[in-house]
């Protein structure tokens, strides 16, 4: 870790107790206040204008507003015009409709058009700072512009993760910042796996509760590394070894989450027996710990061990 690097202040959580502009504090979002502070801070204080700021996905505009107001408040003499590139398809799928939290943040929007309308309403007046790429991410292309800040909140399945690697990770350069959401969500097991695979290209800055990890890019990722089909190239034993290589220096809680994610990883590789063995072990080890009750139940449901609710 190079503490002289321009991004090194990041290692000391400088965003932790900053005052947020009211607009950022109030904007509906699937982010907590520390995550909003982080996004606002990096756009205001760390953004040097050397590349794009990627906001993927934006939902009702919480991350967009946090980044855009931060960019507006950035005092450097830089070109700010639509430097943020924002992605979302604005489709209310079943899982979104079922989520109480999502419904609350959508403020009564029940159709896709109303969802998009909420985004427009929440981001009004900031359009000069962002360009919206509306539609399915998988239909988009990146033009190769360097990415200075990548806020990744869209890698909800393996195809979206692959797309992000191919288009956005490949445009990161040394010193660029990656803010990775969903990392400690047990169902998003491909995220730690990928970051373990890319360990030579990133330094961890911080694990933030509940689910975010902040990285600084150490070296640009070569194309052949990005293109590797991990499932075909690595055996399950190699994949598990890579996954577990993240454990040293992690809290007991984060290690436990990796244990649950490992069950999904086995199933992904088609080894259901191993998946169930690891799940039973995890259940025995973490039974009764409130933080894991939901994750273990979700894994059991997903593996068909209890009736899906
Ligand atoms: C967790 S939310 C993002 C939360 C947001 N960053 C905020 O500040 O509240 C994830 C978003 O990804 C979007 N999304 C999921 N799959 C997508 C796809 N294939 N293409 C484009 N957007 C997608 C969803 O519509 C959703 O709004």
* Ligand 1 pocket residues where CB is under 6 Å: 29-31, 57-59, 62-63, 87-89, 91, 136-138, 153-154, 156, 160
ipTM for the predicted complex comes to 0.99
Which regions in the chain score pLDDT beneath 50? Answer: 307-309
By the 8 A CB rule, do 38 and 208 touch?
yes
Query: From the alpha carbon of 90, which atom of ligand 1 is closest?
Result: 25
By the 8 A CB rule, do 129 and 84 touch?
yes
Residue 269 is predicted with a pLDDT of 93
Residue 6 is predicted with a pLDDT of 62
- The CA-atom distances, in angstroms, between 202 and each of 7, 115, 132, 207, 294 are 13, 35, 28, 14, 31
Residue by residue, DSSP assigns 91-124 as ---HHHHH-HHHHHHTTT--SHHHHHHHHHHHHT
Q: Is residue 1 part of a domain?
A: no
- Between CA 25 and CA 31, with CA 26 as vertex, the angle to 5 degrees is 65
Q: Is residue 290 part of a domain?
A: yes
Residues 190 and 41 in one domain: yes
**Per-residue pLDDT tens for 243-271?**
999 999 888 989 999 999 999 999 999 99
How far is CA 83 from its chain centroid? 20
Report how far ligand 1's centroid is from the alpha carbon of 147 (Å).
Answer: 19
Domain that holds residue 287: 235-302
Residues 51 and 191 in one domain: yes
Residue 2 is predicted with a pLDDT of 61
Residue 308 is predicted with a pLDDT of 44
Tell me which of 29, 59, 162 to substitute to probe ligand 1's pocket, judged by most ligand atoms within 8 Å of the beta carbon: 59
Tell me which of 88, 157, 210, 212 to substitute to probe ligand 1's pocket, judged by most ligand atoms within 8 Å of the beta carbon: 88
Query: From the alpha carbon of 64, which atom of ligand 1 is closest?
Result: 8
Report how far ligand 1's centroid is from the alpha carbon of 76 (Å).
Answer: 30
Q: Is residue 196 part of a domain?
A: yes
Q: State the CB neighbour count (10 A cutoff) for residue 12.
A: 11
Q: Is residue 16 part of a domain?
A: yes
**Per-residue pLDDT tens for 112-125?**
999 999 999 999 99
Last residue of a domain, one of 203, 227, 251: 227
By the 8 A CB rule, do 233 and 269 touch?
no
Strands (E), the chain: 52-56, 84-88, 130-134, 147-152, 172-180, 202-208, 212-217
Which residue's alpha carbon is at the smallest distance from atom 16 of ligand 1?
154
Residue 231 is predicted with a pLDDT of 87
Report how far ligand 1's centroid is from the alpha carbon of 23 (Å).
Answer: 21
278 membership: H or E segment, kind and range = helix 272-286
What is the CATH number for 72? 3.40.50.150
Residues 194 and 250 in one domain: no
Residue 3 is predicted with a pLDDT of 59
Residues 215 and 277 in one domain: no
Helix 190-197 with 158-167: angle, nearest 10 deg:
30
Report how far ligand 1's centroid is from the alpha carbon of 137 (Å).
Answer: 10
Query: From the alpha carbon of 105, which atom of ligand 1 is closest?
Result: 9
By the 8 A CB rule, do 179 and 42 touch?
yes
Residue 8 is predicted with a pLDDT of 76
Residues 144 and 192 in one domain: yes
């Amino acid at each position: 870790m190079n503490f002289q690097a321009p991004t090194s202040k990041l290692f000391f959580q400088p965003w932790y107790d900053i005052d947020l502009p009211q607009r950022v504090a109030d904007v509906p979002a699937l982010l907590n206040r520390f995550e909003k502070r982080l996004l606002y801070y990096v756009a205001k204080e760390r953004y040097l204008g050397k590349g794009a700021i990627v906001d993927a996905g934006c939902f009702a505009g919480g991350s967009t507003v946090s980044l855009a107001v931060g960019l507006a408040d950035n005092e450097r003499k830089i070109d700010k015009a639509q430097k943020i590139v924002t992605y979302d398809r604005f489709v209310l799928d079943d899982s979104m409709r079922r989520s109480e939290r999502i419904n609350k943040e959508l403020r009564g929007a029940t159709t896709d058009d109303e969802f998009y309308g909420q985004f427009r309403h929440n981001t009004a007046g900031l359009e000069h700072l962002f360009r919206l790429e509306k539609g399915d991410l998988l239909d988009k292309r990146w033009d190769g512009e360097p990415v200075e800040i990548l806020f990744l909140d869209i890698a909800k399945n393996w195809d979206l993760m692959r797309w992000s690697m191919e288009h956005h990770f490949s445009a990161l350069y040394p010193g660029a910042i990656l803010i990775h959401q969903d990392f400690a969500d047990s169902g998003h097991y491909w995220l730690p796996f990928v970051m373990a695979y890319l360990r030579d290209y990133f330094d961890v800055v911080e694990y933030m509760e509940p689910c975010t990890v902040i990285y600084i890019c150490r070296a640009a990722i070569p194309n052949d590394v990005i293109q590797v089909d991990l499932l075909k190239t690595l055996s399950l034993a190699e994949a598990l070894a890579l996954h577990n290589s993240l454990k040293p220096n992690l809290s007991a809680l984060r290690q436990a989450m990796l244990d649950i994610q490992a069950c999904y990883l086995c199933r992904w590789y088609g080894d259901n027996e191993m998946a169930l063995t690891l799940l039973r072990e995890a259940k025995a080890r973490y039974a009764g710990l409130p933080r894991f009750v939901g994750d273990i139940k979700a894994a059991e449901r997903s593996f068909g061990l209890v009736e899906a609710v």
